[in-house]
Structure 1
């Protein structure tokens, strides 16, 4: 556990552009080897075994705030076709009214826990894929501190937590405000007062790093697509990779794939994939969650708050937070993007076993 800390978007120095490609790093700053000579071969082998067997293992998709189960059905079907047994936590739009009124996430965790029990019974340890807020909610399930009277501690049932555009370090300073939660528990007496009013602050206080989630591998992916810029005032119209925020300057980059610069994904050399109005919306969103709007991110979540200390980082140029109106504007669930993070869904020892078998062959 640790004191709550502010995101490091403030006082952001600039650095030179990173290559227009997908990048895998560690948030400790050390470059990792290209994961995927072995990782990708293992994932390909799992897909070759067919969708009906679920041979790639169990995968649970956690919807983000104000998202519903239906919006992830296509992604679940895509993963199933590649050999995984994929399921989505059941969430409807009306469920979110409870949160908007200041309720906690106990209903969400209860459904996730039930689904995890079923998946674990069939597959053993599974992978959790948390989109947006779903990524930090997963930390509540994996941790051992009681949440609303329930001690989950499900890290033994999960081998990997992959978060997609999750605002792990959000300051939650929304222009429309937010209703304070009323979290309970004797253990909250030793925490700052604000922890009892926010499930996200609860997660960040009790589980501030990847290491605080036992032996679960944590991978934080975030799109690097658009830099916020107000409609009125100065600012660069370039994409975030052309002028990245300070957080990315602390990471060592290692390419794990390439994206077509001419595909219209808003990268250098490609056709423009967003408008000035998009930049204004991104500016507003980034400012609400990190205190600064002129940073880069996926249109909703800025890079600087998308990472958890100690986790592996996957930076995805040109990837948006949610589906857009054009196939040239992919989101995390687009088929060509799932190929970049799909290898992390395999249990680590299964990856090593598959890769070793292929090398021997």
Structure 2
């Protein structure tokens, strides 16, 4: 299991037993929508070579594989926005199961860590519900849209056609215990903006929150100086429309694809990294790092 402890800049209400040092365990990476296995080769190598993870398997997915999801178009539930993950996504869940089996063979008798990027995070929750998850001790999600968009929000269409509603209602809630840890990482790369209007919400900083329970809740405070904007850019307006389809609001922070508020789960250890972009595709380790870039990976814990 990856030993993911809160970075020094985070405050979290976590019991001592939960944050005790743990050995590294094999990991399985679940690719995000539109990504392929090769997109995570550098991350897998860094986990093995630089961070002591004994074995890393990446679910075998190609970009054309995602066209299989078009099978959902013939399902009436797609048009009613009540689509279920199975059987439409059985092909993906099978690839995950094969990768988990590979990790078990490479490091037998050890627990498994699942690392889900983007849609791979909520698909990991489906996998844990439908397959043997008895030895999974960590679910780490990177820029995953966990929450369905609010119903009835003007101009918002559920892009998952009900899949996230199903996950929210039918998958086990997030926990952070010695036996099983949910860690949800969000990025604060750019703040979106509405299509019209000349002002955006001034939410450059989000303060850490302590909770009275053993559940870990933590977010990062931005330490970068940001120039005062006279008004939102065209790019911010464009990205804001993407955020709106996910969470119902355009004027929020996110990683350029997934809003920060959608990438966190109640009950998990929630972490936000400033300046982190959504995907390995189009990222740059220096100017536009993604969740798996070396400098960010070091902050996982």
Do the structures match in fold with TM over 0.5?
Answer: yes
Shift of 1:235: 2.3
Shift of 1:293: 0.8
Report the counterpart of residue 28 of structure 2 in structure 1. Answer: 60
Report the counterpart of residue 276 of structure 2 in structure 1. Answer: 319
- Correspondent of 1:142 among 128, 135, 148: 128
Q: Distance in 2 between matches of 1:179 and 1:132?
A: 13
Deviations 1:166-220 (A, max 9, x none): 110032999787585xxxxxxxxxxxxxxxxx33222211125114999421101
- In structure 2, the gaps of 5 or more residues are 1-6, 73-86, 212-216
Report the counterpart of residue 185 of structure 1 in structure 2. Answer: none
Asked if 1:281 is matched to 2:238, the reply is yes
Count of aligned residue pairs for this structure pair: 264
Shift of 1:251: 6.0
Contact kept, 8 Å, 1:23 with 1:254, in 2: the verdict is no
1:252-271 correspondence runs (5 A): 267-269=224-226
Higher helix fraction: Structure 1 or Structure 2? Answer: 1
Shift of 1:236: 2.7
Asked if 1:328 is matched to 2:298, the reply is no
Q: Distance in 2 between matches of 1:25 and 1:130?
A: 24
Q: Distance in 2 between matches of 1:207 and 1:23?
A: 31
Q: 1:22 to 1:105 in 2, by over 3 A?
A: farther
Shift of 1:271: 11
Report the counterpart of residue 94 of structure 2 in structure 1. Answer: 110
Name which of structure 1's ranges 318-327 and 307-316 shifts more when overlaid on structure 2. 318-327
Q: Distance in 2 between matches of 1:133 and 1:86?
A: 19
Q: Distance in 2 between matches of 1:303 and 1:288?
A: 13
Contact kept, 8 Å, 1:155 with 1:213, in 2: the verdict is no
Report the counterpart of residue 86 of structure 1 in structure 2. Answer: 56
The TM-score, its normalising length taken from structure 2, stands at 0.74
Q: 1:175 to 1:96 in 2, by over 3 A?
A: farther
Q: 1:66 to 1:271 in 2, by over 3 A?
A: farther
Q: Distance in 2 between matches of 1:231 and 1:114?
A: 44
Q: 1:24 to 1:162 in 2, by over 3 A?
A: farther
Shift of 1:135: 0.4
Asked if 1:207 is matched to 2:177, the reply is no
Contact kept, 8 Å, 1:133 with 1:167, in 2: the verdict is yes
Q: Distance in 1 between matches of 2:8 and 2:174?
A: 22
SS at match of 1:210: coil
Name which of structure 1's ranges 309-318 and 205-214 shifts more when overlaid on structure 2. 205-214
SS at match of 1:156: coil
Q: Distance in 2 between matches of 1:137 and 1:109?
A: 8
Shift of 1:280: 1.9
Name which of structure 1's ranges 201-210 and 332-341 shifts more when overlaid on structure 2. 201-210
Over the aligned positions, Cα root-mean-square deviation in angstroms equals 3.6
SS at match of 2:186: strand
- In structure 1, the gaps of 5 or more residues are 1-20, 47-55, 144-150, 181-197, 262-266, 344-361
- Correspondent of 1:299 among 256, 260, 273: 256
Q: Distance in 1 between matches of 2:264 and 2:239?
A: 18
Shift of 1:230: 3.4
Deviations 1:55-81 (A, max 9, x none): x33111111111111111111111121
1:168-247 correspondence runs (5 A): 168-171=146-149, 178=159, 180=161, 198-207=162-171, 209-211=173-175, 215-230=179-194, 232-236=196-200, 240-242=203-205
* Structure ranking higher on relative contact order (CA contacts 8 Å, 6+ apart): 1
Asked if 1:73 is matched to 2:36, the reply is no
The TM-score, its normalising length taken from structure 1, stands at 0.63
Report the counterpart of residue 66 of structure 2 in structure 1. Answer: 96
Shift of 1:276: 2.1
